[in-house]
Amino acid sequence: MTSRSVEEHSAEVQRLLAPLLAPTVEDVAVTEALGRVLGADVRSPLDLPLFRNSQMDGFAVAASSLAAVPVTLPVTGTIAAGPAEPAPLAPGSAVRIMTGAVIPAGADAIVPVEDTDATEDSVTIRVPRRAGEYVREAGTDVRTGDLLLAAGTALGARHLSLFAAVGLATVPVLRRPRAAVIATGAELVRAGEPLRPGQIYESNSVALAASLTANGADVVFVDRSDDDLAVFGEILRRATASADLVITSGGVSMGDFEVVREVLTPLGGWFGHTTMQPGGPQGLAEIDGVPVLNFPGNPVSTMVSFEVFVRPLLRRSAGLPAVPREDLVLAEPITSIPGRRQFLRGRRVDGGVALESGPGSHLVGALARADVLIDIPENVTTMKAGDNVRVWPL
C-alpha cells in the first residue's frame, strides 16, 4: 500500500474544502462584531464631526471681537451639548458654550473658561484668539463617503467605536464556517458517566470543538457515536444537515470495527494511509455537498490532524492571520522513522525547542504541556542538538 504524503493529502483536503474558502458575508450588530473580520470595505454615511462644535467648555466669540484685550463682552446665553439650533451670535457679544455643543453662526473661536472671568451676563477675556481656535469643523475627521475600514480588518474596540460614531448599527463581516464534530468509538464515555473496564473518557470532541472555535469556526453540532453503523449514519446525516464542514474522529484504520470507514466508503469516501505520524490513517468524503474529514481516534493523532490539515485552511477561510512556521534550534538529538513525516510535540526552551515526552499518539499529557509541533521531514532519520528544525506553533 502506498501512502499519501502530507502535501498530497493536504491538497485533497483543500480541494474538498474549496467552498469554505470562497467567503460569504453577513451583517452583524456593531455591538456583536468584536473579533470578527470585515467582509467588505465600509464607507462613512456622514461627516465627523457632524457639525461645527466646541472643543472646550468656555465662550464662543468672533475672534475679531478680541482685537484689544482684555475685553468685556455681554453673554447672551448658554449652549449646552445636546439638541440645539442656536441663533446667530450678535456682533460684539459672547455665548457660553460647552464641549461638543453647536457653535452658532457668527462665532469663529472658542475661549476656554479658564482664560476668562465671567459673571452671569458678561465675560472678561484676557487673551486674544485666532479664528478657528478650539473649533472643530464639520468633516475634519471623516468625510461622507470616506473609506472607514477596509475588508479584511479584524475588528477591535477602536474600529467598533468608529462604526458607532458614524451611526452604523450593523457591519458586514465574514461568515464563520459552521462546523460539526462527531467522536466515534464503543470505548468512549463522557465525563461524569460511569466507567466500565475497557472504557475511556471521550476527549476528541472537546479538543476538536475548541480547536475549531479558536480558529474562526462556529461549532454548531457535537455528538458521539458508538460503533453501530446505523447510529453513526444517522448522526452524520444530522451533522451534514447543519454544518459547512464535518470532522469525525476514530473508525478509519485497519481494525474490524471501523464505523466511519464502513459507512463512508460506499458513499464515495476515500480512506487510506498518509506518511504523517501521528495521524497516519485518514479519510475524507463529501456527503450531501458537505465536506467530511475523518481523523484517526487517538487523541494526539486527532489534534495533529487538525493542526496540519484544517487549521491553516480554516484561518484563511475566517480571514484570520496565518500561524507562522518558525525555525528553532534543537536542544537535544532526535531520531525519526524513514518515510514518516513526524510531528513531535515540543516545548520552547531558552533559545530553542526540546522534546515533550515521546512520539506515542496517546500521550495527551505531553501534548498539553507542548507549545509547538516539531516537523521532521520524511527523509530525515536523525538530527543533532543544535540543528535547525521547523516548528508549527500550537
Distances (CA, A) of 233 to 161, 188, 252, 261: 47, 18, 15, 11
Cβ partners under 8 Å of residue 129, min gap 6:
61, 63, 66, 109, 110, 111
Q: Does 363 bind a copy of itself (CB under 8 A)?
A: yes
Q: Does 57 bind a copy of itself (CB under 8 A)?
A: yes
Total residue length of the chain: 394
Q: Does 99 bind a copy of itself (CB under 8 A)?
A: yes
* Least distance between a copy of itself and beta carbon 291 (Å): 20
What DSSP assignment string belongs to 323-368? PPPEEEEESS-EE--TT-EEEEEEEEETTEEEE-S---TT-HHHHH
What's the rounded Cα separation, in Å, for the pair 232 and 237? 9
For a copy of itself, the binding residues in 281-340 under the rule CB under 8 A are: 297-299, 303
Cell of 167: 451611526
Question: 19 or 199: whose CB is closer to a copy of itself?
Answer: 199
Q: Does 105 bind a copy of itself (CB under 8 A)?
A: no
Number of amino acids touching a copy of itself (CB under 8 A): 94
Question: 34 or 241: whose CB is closer to a copy of itself?
Answer: 34
- The single residue among 108, 227, 244, 375 that binds a copy of itself, judged by CB under 8 A, is 227
| Type of residue found at 251 | G
Q: Does 171 bind a copy of itself (CB under 8 A)?
A: no
Q: Does 195 bind a copy of itself (CB under 8 A)?
A: yes
Q: Does 201 bind a copy of itself (CB under 8 A)?
A: yes
Closest to 337 measured CA to CA, from 385, 382, 384, 296: 382
Question: 209 or 389: whose CB is closer to a copy of itself?
Answer: 209
For a copy of itself, the binding residues in 115-154 under the rule CB under 8 A are: 136, 140-142, 146, 148-149
Query: Residue written as cell 457535537?
Result: 222
- The single residue among 13, 75, 94, 102 that binds a copy of itself, judged by CB under 8 A, is 102
Q: Does 228 bind a copy of itself (CB under 8 A)?
A: no
Q: In what order do the strands lie in the sheet with 71-79?
A: 109-112, 58-61, 94-97, 71-79, 122-125, 116-118
Q: Does 241 bind a copy of itself (CB under 8 A)?
A: no
Distances (CA, A) of 356 to 311, 366, 372: 22, 6, 9
For a copy of itself, the binding residues in 250-279 under the rule CB under 8 A are: 253-257
What's the rounded Cα separation, in Å, for the pair 38 and 23? 11
Question: 210 or 267: whose CB is closer to a copy of itself?
Answer: 210
* Least distance between a copy of itself and beta carbon 218 (Å): 13
For a copy of itself, the binding residues in 343-362 under the rule CB under 8 A are: 357, 360-362
Question: 365 or 386: whose CB is closer to a copy of itself?
Answer: 365
